[in-house]
Amino acid sequence: MKSLLIAAAATVLAGCTVVPTGAVHQACRVVEIAAAEAEMARAWYISAGQVLERCGVPDARERAEQSACAAQRRAGYSCEASP
């Protein structure tokens, strides 16, 4: 489900389809909420950060890196990024 959501948002943002602006904004908002609220794998946060950066969310990539690092620590691995 999460991967499907990111893929849909990426497709919309890449310009492969013509959709109403409201739908793009809503897709970006859903990805933003999921990235902030859910506990996902490291790679998911990185992908979500890329999508959110295209959505125009300030500091999306940096926040994604921090979330990815936290996910890596939760999985029992070390991470060099600062929290």
Listed by start position, the domains of the chain span 2-74
Residues of the chain with pLDDT > 70, as a percent, come to: 71
pLDDT confidence of residue 83: 47
> What are the contacts of 69-76 at 24+ separation with CB within 8 A?
69/42, 71/39, 71/40, 71/41, 71/42, 71/44, 71/45, 72/42, 74/39, 75/42
Dump pLDDT digits (tens) for 45-65. 999 999 999 999 999 999 999
Whether pTM exceeds 0.75: no
Pairwise pLDDT comparison (13 vs 21), residue with the higher score: 21
Average pLDDT score over the chain: 80
Q: How confident is the model at residue 22 (pLDDT cuts 50, 70, 90)?
A: confident
What is the CA angle 47-24-57, rounded to 5? 55
